[in-house]
Amino acid sequence: MTKNRRVVITGIGSITPLGNSVDVFWKNIKSGQSGAGPISVFDASRFKTKFACEVKGFDPLEYIENNKELRKLDKFSVFALAATQQAFTDSNIQLEKIEPEKAGVIWGSGIGGLDTFYKEAKKLIESTGSPRMSPFFIPKMISDIAAGLISMKYNFQGPNYATVSACASSSHAIINSYNYIKNHNYDIFITGGSEASVTEMGVGGFNALHALSTRNDDPKTASRPFDQNRDGFVLGEGAGCLILEELEHAKKRGAKIYAEIIGSASNADAHHITAPHPEGRGAKKVMQQAIQNSKINPESIDYINVHGTSTPLGDLAEINAIIDVFKDHAYNLEISATKSMTGHLLGAAGAIESIICIKSINDNYIPPTINNKTLDSKINPNLNLNLNKGKEKNINTAICNTFGFGGHNTSVIFKTYTD
């Protein structure tokens, strides 16, 4: 078994509330745009929250063969296939030159086919006599189906499964894919995550948890990490895909290389079903472990894309963890919470924010944390939170933090590729 092989990113793709390609998405991130607006996919007038970060202007038939095939798929799978097609095209992989058994797919989704579940459950409840449910109900709904569909489309016959760990789902998918290539004899993985939870069940469920912002009078400023008056996250949807490849395999086929993954870690708070540990215990340890696994010093980190959901407890716990881990260097770090623009894509968040880290390294640009009007009095104002304005700065190494309900914590470290 070959161990400690280097793993690089050779393709990226995205479907987001800020654009349906990486180029458009990144342009809007850099300019500090908000993806939030009134919900259009259902009548939200009876809900406490009437807005979300929806994907806009997306034509599924650009990626799915026809309407007949489209009817067999939940939206989260359509997003997954679309982002993957973008990344696959971007990577310039020639399928005939890939060994299928050495190519895998690991895909994350926190909830899977929620809209399909709701519609089929409604049909069942409203039916009289024998229920007439769709024969595609189960395969449309299950969270693993996106990974299966991707593997079938590209004939990747290696490890194939879904990671389901709430908002950490796609980060776990990336970590597992990275470890398969690094520590085993695999060449390439398609990985990432997708979510399509802007539905009656999604909004209603998160409203019941008091997790969502209810700033209906001004949706575009509702996601406001670190702000004194933040009142919850904004629900988002979409997908992010990364092509991970063993370095020598990528070099042999002349692939362009965006960045290298040099380390990662995952752990658990073991504290509460929805709230983070108040002292950021798990967040602190997962960053420390990722840095240790990367064999670098904390001072080598230039940028952190924080989980930063705009919840009162979560933002403070993560900031406290960063100060504990980095000590004086915490005030040299660049930090941004890009969910202020994208909203919270749940199981797809880690993949989308990993792409942001990669683009930050490529472009030497720190995205802003928008919508901050009054910094939380409990947050040290000397931290570089890039409030309301991004900036150009040399970025060599970046951490992507993603945490999830259930106490799941992940950190992935990306670095400029050097031969």
Q: Are 303 and 357 in contact (CB under 8 A)?
A: yes
Task: Identify the three-state secondary structure at position 222.
Answer: coil
Region at 405 (left for phi over 0; alpha for psi -120 to 50; beta for the rest): beta
The dihedral sign for the CA sequence 364, 369, 373, 378: negative
326: tokens are: 């980095």
The residue type found at 297 is N
**Catalytic one of 344, 357, 400, 408:** 344
**Catalytic one of 53, 307, 400, 408:** 307
Burial of 2 (0-12, 13-18, 19+ CB in 10 A): exposed
235 pairs with which residues across the strands?
344
Q: Give yes or no: 329 in active site.
A: no
Which of 406, 398, 319 shows the shortest CA–CA distance to 361? 398
- Give the Cβ contact number of residue 10 at 10 Å: 23
Q: Which long-range contacts (CB under 8 A, 24 or more apart) does 294-300 make?
A: 294/262, 294/263, 294/413, 294/415, 295/262, 295/263, 296/262, 296/263, 296/397, 296/413, 298/325, 298/326, 298/327, 298/329, 299/329, 299/332, 300/396, 300/397
Geometric angle at alpha carbon 44, from 41 and 49, rounded to 5° = 115
Q: Give yes or no: 307 in active site.
A: yes
**Catalytic one of 167, 241, 357, 400:** 167
- Give the Cβ contact number of residue 270 at 10 Å: 10
Geometric angle at alpha carbon 85, from 84 and 91, rounded to 5° = 85
Write the CB contacts of 45 (distance below 8 Å, at least 6 apart in sequence). none
409: Cα within 13 Å, side-chain hemisphere: 29
Q: Give yes or no: 184 in active site.
A: no
Instruction: Measure Cα distances from 345 to 58, 135, 197, 286, 418 in Å.
Output: 16, 28, 8, 21, 32
Beta pairing, strands 7-15 & 259-268: antiparallel
Catalytic residues: 167, 307, 344
